[in-house]
A and B are shown apart, each in its own frame.
Chain A
Amino acid sequence: MRIDDHPILGKAERGRSITLTVDGSPVEAFEGEPIAVALMASGHRVFRYTTKQKGPRGVFCALGRCTDCIMIVDGQANVRTCVTPARDGMVIEKQFGRGPREEKG
């Protein structure tokens, strides 16, 4: 699903090839591209499930505004994957609800 050749833009210039771990499986990515892009390119569509209705969510605005694409990145919940650059070795997990976090007593 990557667009390598384009009639107006020509050949795609991408960063170096890296590997992410997504829910335990390796996913090829290019350094610096948003995490969400690597996920879409590898066929991932569901990024998280909502808290109450458990509904699936994916990329909606791709601009960092809507927060529909948030996931757990290197243990940190609620990371906007559409504006967070991919780095080699990142561990990414689908987020269920608000994700794991310490409940304050």
Chain B
Amino acid sequence: MKNTDMVVVGGGAAGMAASIEAACAGAEVVLIDENERPGGQLFKQIHKFFGSEVHRAGIRGIHIGRDLLKEAEEAGVQVRLNTVVYGFFPDKCLGLMCNQHTEELQAKMIILATGASENVLAFPGWTLPGVMGAGAAQTLINIHRVLPGRSVLMVGAGNVGLIVSYQLLQAGAEVVAVVEGLPTISGYGVHASKIRRAGVPIFTGHTILRAEGKESVERVVIAAVDKSWQPLAGTEKAFEVDTVCLAVGLSPLAELAWMAGCQFIYIPEIGGWVPVHDENMETSVPGIYVAGDLAGIEEASTAMEEGRLAGLAAAEALGCLSSKDGRARKAEVWERLAALRIGSFGHGRALAMEKILRAKGVG
């Protein structure tokens, strides 16, 4: 069985940032990703990021992704692509599958940065071809450069729903409407304004009733809902569309953390079941860290900072960083993370993170 200092599972924003920090500190780092190329969801993010300059505000996700890849290469991170981590065995041993072969890899420290998957919404017709995740549509248009359809109904007015709606317009599709069950738009106002200016109506307090079509989506019906989420008779509206995109939240991809025996906590605001972790991103299992959406659904900016934190803390635990240097470096990241969790949108996430720390007994 092969051994290494550190394995990072997941080569998205969090995993790449973690690998870079740990490798720069002198650790031997293997970064594993199941995809043909690393970068996670960053290469789909063609919009400019928010925050301050240290958070790379104003830079598009695709460019941040390219920079991180270069940094990882320069830091000497060993990147293993097309490799699935299928199992977590005792003594921090991971089961890998690559090219139809399996192998084992043991590490002193493991950082799980497996990300999240899209939630689905079930309604009559939801299995018809043409109904897909908003993230799926984003992958198709921004990575593979193909339209999923000509006319789209978007379900969900959080940031994913709003951003992907705008990107569908940029790609040349028609977005007939955005439907949001809540009485208000939960995504950023700036994203909502962009699609409204483009003439796309946002129906808050509405839901999708059904998708119709013989072999694929041809038509959708939406309706207003009352306070208990029941459709109000007589408010139905129909649209001729060939595509329905679902942007109804994300859930952490936590299988490996469950297998590792990590303690979990249920916090609906950040995606449901998340691994309990301390301010170093270390879980209840010593030497196993989490970062990014797995540690609670947030954004790429926070994912990168959490990754840096986990990478630094794990490098410190390995002895690659002195505790004095480690503390100083981590303090910088804590400060930047706190800055990302302020304001009306960040406050709820800050409270959720406090809940996690309290569960670990360090808050």
Please, which residue of chain A has its CB at the minimum distance from the CB of B62? A9
Chain B residues whose CB sits within 8 angstroms of the CB of A8 once the complex forms: 46, 60, 170
Return the CB mask of B225-269 against A: 1 if under 8 Å, else 0: 000000000000000000000000000000000000000000000
Give A23 Cβ to nearest chain B Cβ, in Å: 14
Q: Are A46 and B216 in contact (CB under 8 A)?
A: yes
| Residue of A7, A62, A64 with most chain B CB atoms under a 10 A cut-off | A62
Query: Interface on A for B, CB 8 Å cutoff?
Result: 1-4, 6-9, 12, 14, 33-34, 37, 40-41, 45-47, 55-65, 83, 85
Give B253 Cβ to nearest chain A Cβ, in Å: 9
| Alpha-carbon separation in the docked complex, A4 to B172 (Å) | 10
Please, which residue of chain B has its CB at the minimum distance from the CB of A55? B127
> Chain B, interface size: which category?
20 to 34
Identify which of B140-148, B192-200, B280-288, B317-325 touches chain A: B140-148
Q: Are A12 and B145 in contact (CB under 8 A)?
A: yes
Once A2-B146, A46-B216, A61-B118 are accepted as A-B contacts, the answer to whether A9 and B129 lie under 8 Å apart by CB is no
In the complex, whether B106 has a CB less than 8 A from a CB of chain A is: no
Q: Are B145 and A4 in contact (CB under 8 A)?
A: yes
| Residue of B127, B131, B136, B139 with most chain A CB atoms under a 10 A cut-off | B136
Q: Are A60 and B136 in contact (CB under 8 A)?
A: yes
Give B147 Cβ to nearest chain A Cβ, in Å: 5
Chain B residues whose CB sits within 8 angstroms of the CB of A12 once the complex forms: 145
Give B44 Cβ to nearest chain A Cβ, in Å: 10
| Alpha-carbon separation in the docked complex, A47 to B132 (Å) | 14
Give 9 closest A-B pairs by Cβ, nearest first.
Answer: A58-B129, A62-B136, A45-B216, A45-B129, A37-B144, A12-B145, A3-B145, A62-B139, A1-B147
CB neighbors of A among B22-79 (8 A): 34-36, 46, 60, 62
Chain B residues whose CB sits within 8 angstroms of the CB of A2 once the complex forms: 145-147
Q: Are B127 and A59 in contact (CB under 8 A)?
A: no
Chain B residues whose CB sits within 8 angstroms of the CB of A3 once the complex forms: 141, 145-147, 171-172
Give B60 Cβ to nearest chain A Cβ, in Å: 7
| Alpha-carbon separation in the docked complex, A2 to B127 (Å) | 24
Q: Are A47 and B129 in contact (CB under 8 A)?
A: yes
